[in-house]
A and B are shown apart, each in its own frame.
Chain A
Amino acid sequence: MNLQLTLAARYLSGRKLRSVLTTLAIVFGAVVIFGMNTMLPAFTGAFQANALAASGQVDASITLRTSDIFDSRIVDRVAAIDGVRAFSGLLNRAINLPPDYLDADPGTPDAISAVTLVGVDPAQATTVHAYVLRAGRFLGENDSAAAVISQSLADVLDVEVGDPIRLPTASGEAELTVVGIQPTRLVPGNEEVLVTLRQAQVMLGMPGKINTIEVNFDSLDEDRRNQIEESLLAALGDTYQVGALASNSELLTNLRLARQIFNLLAVMALVMGGFIIFNTFRTIVAERRRDIGMLRALGATRWTIVGVILSEGLLQGIVGTAIGIALGYALAVGMISVLNPVMHQYINMRIDTPAISPLLVVLTGLIGVGVTLFAGLLPAISAGRVTPLEALRPSVGRVSLRRLAGLGFWGGLAMIVLAVLALLTHNMSLIGLGGVLFVAGLILAAPALVNPIANLFGALAAKVFARDGTAALAQGNISRQPSRAAITASTTLIALAILVMAAGLFSSVELGFGRVLRRSLGSDYILLPPAVAVWGADVGADPALAEELRGIQGVEVVSTLRFAPTLINGVATSAMGIEPANYSQVSSLAFTRGDEEEAYAALSEGRNLIVNGVLATAAQITVGDEVELITPTGRHAYQVVAIAGDYLNAKIATAYISHANIAGDFGRNEDVLIQANLTSGVDRSVVEAAIRDAVRPYPQFRMVAGQEFIEENLQVFKTAFVGVYGMVIFLAVPSLIAMVNTLAIGVIERTREIGVLRAVGATRRQVRTIVVTEALILSAIGTAFGLLSGIYLGYMAVGAMVAAGFPMEYAFPAAGSLIAIAAGILFGVLAAIIPARQAARLEIVQALRYE
């Protein structure tokens, strides 16, 4: 083992550049795995701490499972439970503030962008909490328009006891008088504005409602407390829950999704790293055949040789993973420090410096080292099979097509055929499997296809720029080692397949979502809340605003959206209230099942609903099904009449019901989004001015022209695409490393041959051209295969998105394919720079003497 590690360390340090490049492949993967899995838990932990802090220091918080409002008389049921010492019903809601609402200064970043309005029964609340005050007094039973705030909020607002503060409400802007100031807020979460319960109900348009009951028990005994909790649930019913606030917010869901995506990227980076290691070790074994043969001649066993190769892999794996872990942690800390100011500004949350998880260190180490060893295993075993004699004679055998066109080729071809057949089944599971088969089949069949493709691109190169026989030499060099060429091309294949797949996916997303976007937001004017699609945190307007807008001359139709949270088949769902009679005049759902006219008509009659694709998939429901919605007034059965979706709720499980049902079953009449169309031929500027006047008392709304909002959102797509292309480039770097490795080894192996070429009159430029042409042929092979794979994978990805309920249709990635071809050519040129220079600078005599 000593000898093996000694040889491994010496060989690695003897080829520093190659060792660094190969180790980089492992570093990439380890950075992503460790960095993302360190950072994202820190985010989710902070969110959960935020939720817990919001729930306060009480024994139990009772809420509806949907987090919705419920009748305040439910408190009586809680009071009747044996073991309940104190209780307090409250209505709390986060209110997103429009930009510059507090400071009216666009030049200064907003210190506070949201507050939580907390309505409490003063008598009940003081039995559950001890409210410490620095100045003034607490709320009284008979207070109206009074508020208690923290010192930190008072500092931002620059107010004292007796001063007024203003907040946007459903009935317009409300003015409150500060009657008391609490100490500076230290726990995470929004600043709170405490008002009486009645005041909060008026401000939020939720008369007689609360959404939380805080309870303290009369016992510290664990079993007794569990008993009391069970009694509470028995009394309240299974639509309620006892515990911390629900953590199924969209943000947490997105964080979990982000973690899955990053882990997938990390796995892909490691797989590519594995390819590079495999390729490098194959070429190392080829390069050291003489050394290996000599060791065997001296009496080294096969396993000793295997151990030498694997020891190199082990060292690279350990070093690469260790560096990756260190850099990953630095990345996590760096990203958190960059994001913390933004988090603090928008959601008043701070992420702590992440802790290093020993389990994650071990897991990352195992994965990093494991991939390296696994990738090096086959080359190591192959090295062990080198006989002493084989290594003492140079290999000059001709490549036999029969040997190549063996099991690997036919097996690969069979897999490709199966993959194409899978496409025809339109079954997503089979198509997904087909994706894996297609790529694997191409890689298996590649060695046998290298020669014909190399001939084709060699001939092309000869016509374009390598007319002096150099292209033929380059093509011959590649044909001599088809397996090595195929493995090198495979890393390019993977990188470009991902690029083309992403291009196909995004073209399709843009096409599909773009169509939905134009249908959903095609009205003349839209009144937007501060956080679009995070409806629960927005304060809307009572129906009076929509009525006022309808009364403006020139306004033809006004339609509004209302929101209530619910659960359908256990899936957290946004119930969106629409006006079936006029919704389709200002907006439209994109229907995939069911008739549009009939569906809108059905919504007006009885309990019928339209579900979007995401909900249909998640809850396993379809047209005609009867489903149960959990509401503040109990469980209600609804009939699914169609599957359709709009742009704003495209990613969230959404059910569309009528305004009448959302008011009746959920008690909601707050408009969270308003769209208006003008009568044709009117003076737009006059009507727009009138609309602005009507909206002025409701600063929580931003008025935009529909077209303007569409452009804004299309721009968001483009920005997201750029970000993802950046990630694809990240994955493409390992493929570049692989090509540089292969070309460099090729130059070393053919040192004497290059010496002969120079001796018989080839110029340095011609030698460079041979290497560059080789690189271009290699990248052409990889690009061709990558294009084919990427197109298949893109089609598969779009199919998967459609199956998951997103409104999309496949768009061929013409631009993406061109970019992939350009990237392939660029790879080839970049990869050839160093090896070409090496080859051209070889001294003729030394090269001829080289063994």
Chain B
Amino acid sequence: MAIIQAHQLSKVYGAGDTAVTALDRVSLSVDPGEFVAVMGPSGCGKSTLLHLLGGLDRPTEGTVSIDGHKLTDLSDAQLTELRRRRIGFVFQFFNLIPVLNAVENAALPVTLDGVRPAEARAKAVIWLTKVGLGDRRSHRPDQLSAGQQQRVAIARALVAEPALVLADEPTGNLDTRASDEIAALLRQVANEWGRAVIMVTHDPRIAAYADRIIFLKDGAIADETVLEPKNAQNAAMVAGKMQAIGT
């Protein structure tokens, strides 16, 4: 059963002559353990879709359900709690708190949820170790490389054991090698650790790590492709699809 379902999702900014339709009746669903990439040209509505799916913004029309909870029925406080416990976020620019070290950053969601500091720290250490940063736990963001910072962000996204991980251009600020590492890690999050992962990206090479790709154009779904696992041609195929759609 899908962990997240979006039905006829639309988002319009402004009104009247200045109205801009960022998203136009998009429907999708993602199952636990599934890794879905959302691709499209700049301004096609990828990030808008992600924000709506994560409850960071409210749709003009349509609904989003996570774990059976309709987001539109939830108050701000309930949405906040949902983000704390059921959703993990990974942003393009890491968004780590600069004055906290790796463990403290990774522990943030559970700390905010009222978990005792020692327990929160222990959970954060577990996930930092899993993402390969067990020996960097006391380092501050400015003492970590870009790739390492993104790993901390992923550990933070997972520390509360969420059902869903939303990643907005997680490799946008990384070099090729680090990008591959992060993409592989996200794949591991989905396939090994059983989370539903939705990743927005413009990079075909990174999108090729996903199980399925949704192509957006002008706010609507233009195409959808299921990828063969470990097919070396996936990246080229995705690039070709992007070109065909007209990006």
Contacts and interface: CB of A to CB of B under 8 A. Distances in A.
Contacts of A294: 91, 95, 97
A297 B100 contact: no
B83 interface: yes
Given A295-B108, A388-B56, A300 B99 contact: no
Interface stretch (A3-11, A637-645, A819-827): A3-11
B89 A298 contact: yes
B91 A14 contact: no
Contacts of B85: 299
B99 A301 contact: no
Contacts of B113: 299
A3 B111 contact: yes
A218 interface: no
Nearest to A296: B80
A300 B110 CA distance: 10
A627 B56 CA distance: 79
Given A298-B83, A299-B80, A392-B56, A291 B97 contact: yes
A389 interface: yes
23 contacts: A6-B104, A7-B97, A290-B95, A297-B54, A298-B108, A298-B109, A298-B112, A299-B80, A299-B83, A299-B84, A299-B113, A299-B160, A300-B80, A300-B84, A300-B112, A301-B77, A301-B112, A302-B76, A388-B56, A389-B51, A389-B56, A392-B56, A392-B91
Nearest to B81: A299
Interface string B141-184: 00000000000000010001000000000000000000000000
A2 interface: yes
A7 B95 CA distance: 15
Contacts of B117: 2
B98 interface: yes
Nearest to A3: B111
B228 interface: no
Interface of B: 51, 54, 56-57, 76-77, 80-85, 89, 91, 93, 95, 97-100, 104, 108-109, 111-113, 117, 156, 160
A6 B112 CA distance: 13
Contacts of B100: 6-7, 10
B54 A14 contact: no
Question: Which 8 interchain pairs have the tightest Cβ spacing?
Answer: A299-B84, A10-B99, A294-B95, A299-B83, A388-B56, A389-B56, A389-B57, A300-B112
Contacts of B89: 297-298
A298 B57 contact: no
Given A2-B117, A297-B83, A389-B56, A7 B109 contact: no
Nearest to A849: B173
B99 A304 contact: no
A14 B95 contact: no
Contact of B99 (A14, A296, A392, A851): A14
A385 to B, nearest CB: 10
A319 to B, nearest CB: 17
Interface in A279-315: 290-291, 294-302, 304
A351 to B, nearest CB: 47
A629 to B, nearest CB: 73
B99 A7 contact: yes
Contact of A851 (B84, B93, B104, B112): B93
Count chain B CB atoms within 10 A of each CB in A3, A10, A290, A851 and give the residue with the most: A3
B82 to A, nearest CB: 8
Contacts of A6: 100, 104
A295 B160 CA distance: 14
- Chain A binding surface SS class: helix
A300 B95 CA distance: 14
A396 to B, nearest CB: 13
Contacts of A392: 51, 56, 91
A298 B94 CA distance: 13
Nearest to B117: A2
A301 B100 CA distance: 19
A296 B77 CA distance: 11
Count chain B CB atoms within 10 A of each CB in A3, A290, A297, A304 and give the residue with the most: A297
B163 to A, nearest CB: 14
B112 A3 contact: yes
Interface in A1-40: 2-3, 6-7, 10-11, 13-14
Count chain A CB atoms within 10 A of each CB in B85, B99, B111, B112 and give the residue with the most: B99
A851 B82 CA distance: 28
A14 B98 contact: yes
Given A291-B98, A299-B113, 19 more contacts: A2-B111, A6-B100, A6-B104, A7-B97, A7-B100, A11-B99, A14-B98, A14-B99, A291-B97, A294-B95, A297-B83, A297-B89, A298-B109, A299-B81, A299-B82, A299-B85, A299-B109, A300-B112, A392-B56
Contacts of A296: 80
Contacts of A14: 98-99
Contacts of B160: 299
Contacts of A295: 97, 108, 112
A3 B111 CA distance: 7
A638 B126 CA distance: 95
A2 B110 CA distance: 13
Interface in A347-362: none
Interface in A73-108: none
A10 B160 CA distance: 24
Contacts of A298: 83-84, 89, 108-109, 112, 156
A306 to B, nearest CB: 14
Contacts of A11: 99
A290 B100 CA distance: 15
Contacts of A291: 95, 97-98
A34 B85 CA distance: 49
Contacts of A2: 111, 117
A321 B109 CA distance: 34
B64 to A, nearest CB: 14
A294 B112 CA distance: 12
A304 B56 contact: no
B98 A301 contact: no
B208 to A, nearest CB: 27
A304 B108 CA distance: 12
Contacts of B93: 851
Interface string A382-414: 000001110010000000000000000000000
Contacts of B76: 302
A291 B141 CA distance: 13
B14 to A, nearest CB: 12
A304 B112 contact: yes
Contacts of A389: 51, 56-57
A683 to B, nearest CB: 86
A114 B104 CA distance: 71
Contacts of B156: 298
A792 to B, nearest CB: 45
Contact of B80 (A3, A10, A13, A301): A301
A302 B112 CA distance: 11
A6 B84 CA distance: 20
Contacts of B80: 296, 299-301
Count chain B CB atoms within 10 A of each CB in A10, A13, A304 and give the residue with the most: A10
Contacts of A304: 112
Nearest to A851: B93
Interface in A398-444: none
A209 B122 CA distance: 91
A546 B109 CA distance: 93
Interface string A611-654: 00000000000000000000000000000000000000000000
B166 to A, nearest CB: 10
Contacts of A301: 77, 80, 112
A820 B229 CA distance: 75
Nearest to A13: B99
Contacts of A10: 99-100
B129 to A, nearest CB: 21
A7 B101 CA distance: 11
Contacts of A7: 97, 99-100
